[in-house]
Structure 1
Amino acid sequence: MFTPFEELNTLLAELTGSVRDIFGDTFVGAYLQGSFALNAGDVNSDCDFIIATTTLPTGPAEDQLRRLHDEIPTREGFWTRHLEGSYADVTSLRGIEGLGVPWLFCDHGHRELIWDTHCNTLHTRWILRHHGITLAGPPIADLVDEVPPQAIRDAMRVALPELMAGLRTWAPFDTAWAQRYTVSAYCRVLYTLATAGVTSKRGAAEWARDHLDPRWRPLLTQVIEDRARGWDPHDPPRPGSLEATYEFAAYAESLGWPAP
């Protein structure tokens, strides 16, 4: 059992089998990362995967992958619309030297694959190295090096001042989902700065509730408890929660810890 959901396990087995057939000898392995690898996946999660190959897919293999991911969301079921992941070559996957290499990427619920660095991050490598779930192939720790603590902290120190600007380019701030996502995103950055590790959105919010200034406990508790509301484009933020979120973001950006 890869996840608590039988339907999702069946889909992952089918995806792995189809991809193995497409890649043939260039297939290396299939792995889960993200919330399910962190033992935090639920019905409000997407299912994050990494499929490792000896070389990046091109030609007929790329064409077949595109057709496969165009077809999967048309199938019956819930999880067919909640896959997200990338096809990574083992060379660029192994260590930080591979950062910046675009991988063929399936965005959450999308049918069109794009070349993108979305999954090619230190966070992804850390999760794979420490908690990755093997669907097929060798243990993922054999393919991914340890992420240097200073490297992942430095990446978060750079990301923190730009986080809100980045969110504003795509997050619908008139929804409760975006309000919760924003708080969780800041919590995850602070968690990594403090620990040089990675945890789930809920785990980061719980950590923040326990370790940050107590005045943020009501906001963090609201974010944790409201996760069950899921994505609803017609669900507005709770009164005052968006203003509190902006204040929390400014607070998080002001911390500047730990020192370089």
Structure 2
Amino acid sequence: MTHPTPFPDLNDVLAQFTAGLVRLLGPELLALYLQGSFALGDADEGSDVDFLAVVRFPLTSAQAETVQAMHRTIFDLPSPWAQHLEGSYFPAELLRRPDPASTPIPYLDNGSRTLEDSDHDNSLVVRWVTREHGISMYGPPALELIEVVTPEALRAEILNTLHRWGAALLTDPDELNNGWRQPHVVMSIARMLHSLNTGAIHSKLAGTEWASRNLDFRWTPLLKRAWNGHSRQFLRYYEPADPVDLHLTQQFIRSALDGAPLKSAD
């Protein structure tokens, strides 16, 4: 796809990224998809550029080194988008079905030049988004490579993530005191609650709008402030969180973990 996003500058970065992988990996590269916000339809200037590459077999050390060198070259392109690629390199058989072992695979974090082994994307959520909404930049439609993820399995994973992540954030209050992370947590938990209600994954915007309609109305201003600042979120990465919103976010997490906030379903 020559125009996978509404942003021409980003499309140029993605074209160079795709061409580089095809050149370096040849037939070992089976597919390359955009997933995350761009696949779900609410991406803006503050979005990560989430990708998922499918390779025939796990990358060898030599392949990983050449791919690593390419990512450093991409990172240095004269475009802010080049610093916000984030994604993983999945062996085809590992991607096809759920992986209870959460096997680490080569992963590029947002803002990083360096591949690391991580299970960050080895989840049912990423498989579902890629299969159902992934934008193919190379290779076949994702439904040919990924088995169906059932709503029951998706809900179980999300519920486990919500309780594990929420408890960790409340245990370490300093983790939330960040101008980027605090609104990110609000939107992420809203999305989780939305997905628990529907058995599907929705965008951050859809999640915050759903939460504003269906959760206790006291959370609505917090949700709106979180989304309204999304396009500028990377500018706040080194700032502390707003003290009022920090306190409200802690309450929002506790409410979500208690299962209290749902009023109705739509």
TM-score (normalizing by structure 1):
0.92
**Shift of residue 55, structure 1, vs aligned partner:** 0.5
Identity over the aligned pairs, expressed in percent?
Answer: 33
Report matched runs for 1:87-236 at 5 Å.
87-97=89-99, 100-167=102-169, 172-231=175-234, 232-233=236-237, 235-236=239-240
Residue in structure 1 matched with residue 65 of structure 2 by the alignment: 63
CA–CA separation in structure 1 for the residues paired with 2:178 and 2:63: 39
| Structure 2: gaps spanning 5 or more residues | none
CA contact (8 A) 2:216 2:261 kept: no
TM-aligned CA deviation for residue 6 of structure 1: 0.8
Q: 1:249 aligns with which of 249, 253, 256?
A: 253
Length, aligned pairs only: 258
User: Could you tell me which amino acid in structure 1 is paired with residue 215 of structure 2?
Assistant: L
SS in 1 for 2:180: helix
CA distance in 2, matches of 1:107, 1:132: 19
C-alpha distance in 2, partners of 1:198/1:102? Answer: 23
CA deviation map 1:135-184 (0-9, x unaligned)? 01111111111111111111122222222344477985333322201111
Give the aligned residue type for 1:100. S
SS at 1:176 equivalent:
coil
C-alpha separation in 1, matches of 2:192 and 2:62: 39
Report the Cα distance in structure 2 between the residues aligned to 1:252 and 1:59, rounded to whole angstroms. Answer: 43
Specify the alignment match of 2:9 in structure 1.
7
- After superposition, what is the alpha-carbon deviation per residue over 1:53-88, rounded to whole angstroms, capped at 9, x for unaligned? 110111321110111112221221111101001111
Q: 1:99 to 1:129 in 2, by over 3 A?
A: farther
Give the secondary-structure state (helix, strand or coil) at the position aligned to 1:224: helix
Distance verdict in 2 for CA 1:169–1:214, change over 3 Å: closer
* Cα distance in 1, alignment partners of residues 196 and 83 from structure 2: 33
Does the CA contact (< 8 Å) of 1:28 and 1:52 recur in 2? yes
Closer, same or farther in 2 for the Cα pair 1:170/1:16, shift >3 Å?
Answer: farther
* Uncovered stretches (5+) of structure 1, i.e. residues with no partner: none
Task: Give the structure-2-normalised TM-score.
Answer: 0.90
- CA RMSD across the alignment: 2.1
Of 71, 83, 86, the match for 1:84 = 86
1:102-125, Cα deviation, whole Å (9 max, x unpaired): 221111010110111111111111
Taking the aligned partners of 1:123 and 1:146, their CA distance within structure 2 comes to 11
The residue identity in structure 2 corresponding to 1:245 is: T
